[in-house]
Amino acid sequence: MPFILAVLAALAAITAYLWLCAYAVVHLSVPGMLIGAAAGVPIGLAVALVVAFLKLFGPQDDYVLRPADVAERRFPLLRVPPGVAPDTAWPSYFAAQVALDLRAVAAQLGRWVFTVLAGAGKAIRHGGWTGALFWPLLLPVVALLAGFAAGAAAGLLAIVAVSLAVTAAAWLAGLVTAAALRTADRAASVLRRSAGNCPRCYEVSRRPAYQCRRCGSLHRDLRPGLLGVVHRRCGCGAQLPTTVTRAGRSSVLAAVCPLCGAALHPGAGAATDVRVPVFGAPSAGKTHLVTAAVVGLLRGHDSVRLADAHSKRAYAEFTAIVDGGGSAAKTDAARQPIAVTLRVGQGRREALVHLYDAAGEALDDPRRNEAFQYLDAARTLVFVLDPFAVPEIRGQFAARFADLFTAANVSPGPPEPSYQATVTRLQRYSVPTARKRLAVVVSKRDLLQQLPGTSALAGTPADIRGWLVEQGMDNLVTAAERDFGAVAYFFVSALDPAAAAAPFRWLLAAEPITLPAPQTALRAR
């Protein structure tokens, strides 16, 4: 009987407990859960917002794509040809870092939510069985936590959605701006005929590489792109321009050859670049022509300056020769020619004019002249013709005027093979000579005029051409006018710098360069 009473009492107690629980669920838990969930969601949203602000405005070093990572090819969006080291620069924020920042926000928010839920779970477990008996009272707390977690997740989703929208807008604006800047930069380059011209390997680059003067790191592709649209930030923190036009005027960047790394002239890549190779037979008078022409172009003209130390040293020698009446040393055929470079004009209208004077022996040798890549990239060329080497003149006067021929240091062979050697080399390399201009310069005027019957050469360009034809150079004249787009004839003396500069003025007249003196073209086909 007592056992039955005990069972009945227990059943009554359990029934009363369940009834109380049900009553509590209906009157306390359900409203409490609704209130808890309603409070938890905005709290979660607010926490997500706070975490996003902390990460976006505060330090965030967990997930960062640094310039060193870019250099180590950890930025897959950046396409760099194999074998070329990527530039060491900060990627644009919306190109990579925005995703990493979102990852940092998600990780931080996850940590916070987990901490709150784990803390709540620990507190509930701490209550033990006594606490478990009051489970209906815990339901609002659980709802609050669930609302908090759901709010945080919704907040994160909203942050990701807004970031995606802003990133898409930034990409669109960046693509349009980059395309516009690239087009403008390329157009300026085409109009100015600018390029980077390497004095060491003769590489002519449309876009030179640039070295940061602050840290020395190399930027091979400075164009607007993933590493910066309007500006880029070097790994050292220096702000760099993203177009060749602006890089040419930057004090932070130094242009270097993308092929061999040699330093280019300041402004290279942005300034008009003109290469003028001078070719002809050995002892034709090429060096004397360049000597006198450089002196003629520089003297009395402030807007024409020497561009580098080599050119300054060469000019000092040139003035000594011109003013002292001496002879230039024979060009060393074993050495690669280094250009004498003139800087013409100022600011945006600046130009670099490179005059190349290679030894005739090297130019005539097909195995050696193939290294003269500057010939390929030249739009303008000068062919120097020694009139004393013309077979007709040599046969007619060499015996009678032996002293004069000795003083003229006559070229050993006739002019035509030298012309053919260089032009054949150009054509072998598929260089479109028909688009180039050629100045044919008959040299040693002061000496030639001492021969009888040469007075016509002091006249018009037509006379010079006619005289060449009369002297049996008709094949050369025909070949030159067939091979080149424009040909002009000049008759110069190294003793007259102003006249020696005339062929170069004619050649440069077709370039976007403003020379201080008027051109003196004699004849253009």
Partner 1 sequence: MPPYPPPSHRLSRALLAVAIAAAFGLAVAVVLLTGIDDALLRAGADLTTRIRHAWPG
- Which residues of the chain form contacts with partner 1 (CB under 8 A)? 22-23, 26-27, 30-31, 34-35, 38, 45, 49, 52-53, 56-57, 59-61, 64, 66-68, 90, 92-94, 97-98, 101, 155, 158-159, 161-163, 165-166, 170, 228, 231, 233, 235-237
Residue 32 CB, nearest distance to partner 1 (Å)?
Answer: 10
Residue 193 CB, nearest distance to partner 1 (Å)?
Answer: 33
Q: Considering beta carbons, is residue 55 or 265 the nearer one to partner 1? A: 55
Residue 436 DSSP class: S
Residue 248 CB, nearest distance to partner 1 (Å)?
Answer: 22
Q: Considering beta carbons, is residue 98 or 124 the nearer one to partner 1? A: 98
CA distances from 378 to 15, 185, 310, 426, 437 (A): 105, 22, 21, 10, 9
Residue 139 CB, nearest distance to partner 1 (Å)?
Answer: 13
The pairs formed by 32-35 with CB atoms below 8 angstroms and a separation of 24 or more are 32/137, 32/139, 32/140, 32/143, 33/139, 33/140, 33/142, 33/143, 34/143, 35/140
Residue 64 CB, nearest distance to partner 1 (Å)?
Answer: 5
Burial class of 99 by CB neighbour count within 10 A (0 to 12, 13 to 18, 19+): middle
Q: Considering beta carbons, is residue 60 or 420 the nearer one to partner 1? A: 60
Question: What b-and-e string marks burial along 257-280, b requiring 16 or more CB atoms within 10 Å of the CB?
Answer: bbbeeeebbbbbbbbbbbbbbbbb
CA distance 140 to 159: 28
Helix, strand or coil for residue 304?
Answer: strand
Residue 31 CB, nearest distance to partner 1 (Å)?
Answer: 5
Decide the pairing of beta strands 351-357 and 272-280. Answer: parallel
Nearest to 476, CA basis, from 485, 465, 460, 462: 465
Q: Considering beta carbons, is residue 94 or 504 the nearer one to partner 1? A: 94
E strands, 158-264, in order: 196-197, 204-205, 209-212, 218-219, 231-233, 239-241, 253-256
Q: Considering beta carbons, is residue 107 or 333 the nearer one to partner 1? A: 107
Q: Considering beta carbons, is residue 92 or 418 the nearer one to partner 1? A: 92
Question: CB atoms < 10 A from the CB of 63, how many?
Answer: 16
Residue 316 CB, nearest distance to partner 1 (Å)?
Answer: 45
Q: Considering beta carbons, is residue 105 or 473 the nearer one to partner 1? A: 105
Q: What angle do CA 45, 46, 48 make, to 5 degrees?
A: 65
Helix, strand or coil for residue 100?
Answer: helix
On whether the CB atoms of residues 346 and 303 are closer than 8 A, the answer is: yes
CA distance 256 to 266: 9
CA distances from 413 to 33, 286, 328 (A): 108, 15, 20
Q: Considering beta carbons, is residue 69 or 481 the nearer one to partner 1? A: 69
Residue 73 CB, nearest distance to partner 1 (Å)?
Answer: 18
Q: Considering beta carbons, is residue 9 or 162 the nearer one to partner 1? A: 162
Residue 26 CB, nearest distance to partner 1 (Å)?
Answer: 5
Residue in this structure with the two tokens 């690239």, named with its chain if needed: 182
Residue 161 CB, nearest distance to partner 1 (Å)?
Answer: 8
Helix, strand or coil for residue 340?
Answer: strand
Q: Which residues pair with 231 in a beta bridge?
A: 241
Q: Considering beta carbons, is residue 174 or 503 the nearer one to partner 1? A: 174
